[in-house]
Amino acid sequence: MPVFDYDPSDPDEVAFIKTAARYYQVYEVHSGMMLAESDELRATGIQYSQQDLEHYAQGQPSFIDLQTDQGKIRLRNESLPAEGDLFLLVVGASARPMEDTLNSFLKALAWLIPSGVLLAAMASWFMAGKALQPVAELGKAAGEIVVSRLDRRLPVRGTHDELDQLAIQFNDTLAKLEKAVGEMKQFTASISHELRTPLAVLRGEAEVALMEANSTDHYRRILASQLEEFEKLSRMINQLLTLARAESGEVNIAREPVNISNMTRSLAEQLEPVAASKDVTLLCNCEPGVILSGDASWIERIILNLADNAIKFTLPGGHVWITVTKSMNDAVLEIADDGIGIAAEGIPRIFERFYRADPSRANRADGAGLGLSLVKWAVDQHQGSIHVESTPGSGTRFIVKIPLAAEGVVHQL
């Protein structure tokens, strides 16, 4: 019988020995004899054979599980060499508490997993709904934007997240769209207005001719006046068509050497009588041989439009100066006058279609405010720049720069 060495006054040790001494067997390996056995293990009827003993005594300490009426018992086999002999100590412990814990854990899991999944699904649904709410709001706000209400904007929450970025971008695009639609509306309104005026004049004159003209001479005068109106109308319609074609990308700009010095000089000669009829002095000073690469008809249009405006907006006794020079790699065309000038707030807008800085002062029938839009478009097409300086009452200066033709091209001229 084994003797357990412990302190019987220590309740912890007593409890430990009670558990440890519940299942045990001691064998002498060589003889195969069982030297001692606890009552509870005896009740299970387990007994190692000689072969088992030798097997367990040689190997590392091992465990075996034993299924009994009292539940599962886990046995540990440990060989104990002592005084030239070899013993095998078998100590067991009930696996029931462990199994009970495991079972209750599995039961808990069986509850916890479905309820956890359900909870997670509900939480995700709630969170997704909360996270997507701003998207839904944005969508609703976007859906309310129609062409007639382009001044509306999407709400920006100030959270600086992706949705805010999206709303800002969308609002920017809306602003551009609003501007474009506004311009389009204004353009349409302006066209109708600009066409109505000369048509009304023509109609009025025709009525006068029918009702009042009583001599060939009178008819002639009315027809001559009508011819002028027709002339202005067709000029405006031509400008409109050219602008529409240019902006829709239908116009091709030629790339040929253009001697802007010669061209400007010859145009200035043609314009001189027009200037003289208004008592405006036209002075032209062109550095010879300035050659750029571009489209002759469009360059001519640029010069004519700017010079025409300079003469038109200069009072009798005033001057218009036209110069052509070279600067670095550019041909520089300057058209200056000491005319009425343009107010500061009008300067950024003069290249807009139909814009006239002071429609009451300018001769309305004379221009539709399309000339500078075409000039700007043509300059852009030539990779050039146009710049304007003006002081009301003192005069205006337009500076156009267009890249010179390459050296090789110039020699071909």
Angle at 150 between CA 146 and CA 154, to 5 degrees: 90
Give me the least distance between CB of 208 and ligand ADP, in Å please: 27
Q: In this structure, what DSSP letter does residue 285 have?
A: E
Q: In this structure, what DSSP letter does residue 48 have?
A: -
Give me the least distance between CB of 357 and ligand ADP, in Å please: 3
User: Which residues have CB under 8 Å from 242's CB, separation 6+?
Assistant: 251, 374
Give me the least distance between CB of 194 and ligand ADP, in Å please: 10
Positive or negative: CA dihedral 114, 115, 120, 123: positive
Q: Which is nearer to ligand ADP, 154 or 299 (CB)?
A: 299
Q: Which of 247, 226, 311, 329 is nearest to 274 (CA)?
A: 311
The span from the CA of 242 to the CA of 263, in Å, is 22
Q: Which helix (H) or strand (E) holds 292?
A: strand 291-294
Q: Token pair for residue 206?
A: 């025709």
Q: Which is nearer to ligand ADP, 133 or 391 (CB)?
A: 391
Q: Which is nearer to ligand ADP, 131 or 315 (CB)?
A: 315
Query: At residue 42, what are phi and psi to the nearest 5 degrees?
Result: -60, -40
Give me the least distance between CB of 132 and ligand ADP, in Å please: 51
> Which residues are bridge partners to 79 per DSSP?
88
The span from the CA of 168 to the CA of 50, in Å, is 87
With CB atoms as reference, the residue minimizing the distance to ligand ADP is: 367
Binding site for ligand ADP (CB under 6 A): 305, 309-310, 313, 337, 339-342, 350, 355-358, 362, 367-372, 396
Give me the least distance between CB of 398 and ligand ADP, in Å please: 7
Q: Which is nearer to ligand ADP, 168 or 191 (CB)?
A: 191
Q: Which is nearer to ligand ADP, 190 or 396 (CB)?
A: 396
Q: Which is nearer to ligand ADP, 263 or 370 (CB)?
A: 370
> Which residues are bridge partners to 87 per DSSP?
28, 80
Give me the least distance between CB of 347 and ligand ADP, in Å please: 9
Give me the least distance between CB of 320 and ligand ADP, in Å please: 8
Q: Which is nearer to ligand ADP, 153 or 397 (CB)?
A: 397
Angle at 339 between CA 335 and CA 342, to 5 degrees: 85
